[in-house]
Amino acid sequence: MILVGELVDLPPGESVRVHGDVAIAVFNVDGELYAIDDTCSHQDASLSDGWLEGCAVECPLHAACFDLKTGMPSGPPAKKPVRTHAVTVEDGVIYVHESTRVEAGAPSAPAEEVV
């Protein structure tokens, strides 16, 4: 489990970068938390620096978009998905549970509140 930080410090529409085996981007989409590998699969760009568009993030370098639920790109220039990771919130603290591999098209569950 990777400590992300306090839920109050990640408001809706924002993202944060944390480090696991690789960098991971955590996004707050209207109160739902999602985590994906932070590096665009097309080229080395930080997705946490990208733009949220609904439940997708647009890479700031070449505009590839990735679905935050599945990690799948919506089209070129990216062709490979990024890993998704489970997110939980315990007592107001966000944690990421790092995945071991890309599971193309497998949806990740939004964050669960655990008290």
State both tokens at 12: 């809706």
Q: Residue 73 contacts by C-beta under 8 Å, 6 or more apart in sequence?
A: 41, 42, 64, 65, 66, 67, 79, 80, 81
Q: Mean pLDDT throughout 72-90?
A: 93
Alpha helices in the chain (DSSP H): none
Say what the pLDDT of residue 90 is: 96
Q: List the CATH number of the domain containing 86.
A: 2.102.10.10
Higher local confidence (pLDDT), 70 or 21? 70
Provide the domain limits for residue 86.
Answer: 2-113
User: DSSP strand E in 7-107: where?
Assistant: 15-19, 23-29, 32-37, 51-53, 56-58, 65-67, 84-90, 93-97
How many domains, the chain?
1
Q: Mean pLDDT throughout 44-68?
A: 94
**pLDDT interval class at 98 (50, 70, 90):** very high
* pTM, rounded to two decimals: 0.85
Residue 93: left (phi > 0), alpha (psi -120 to 50), or beta? beta
Q: Mean pLDDT throughout 9-33?
A: 95
Say what the pLDDT of residue 111 is: 58
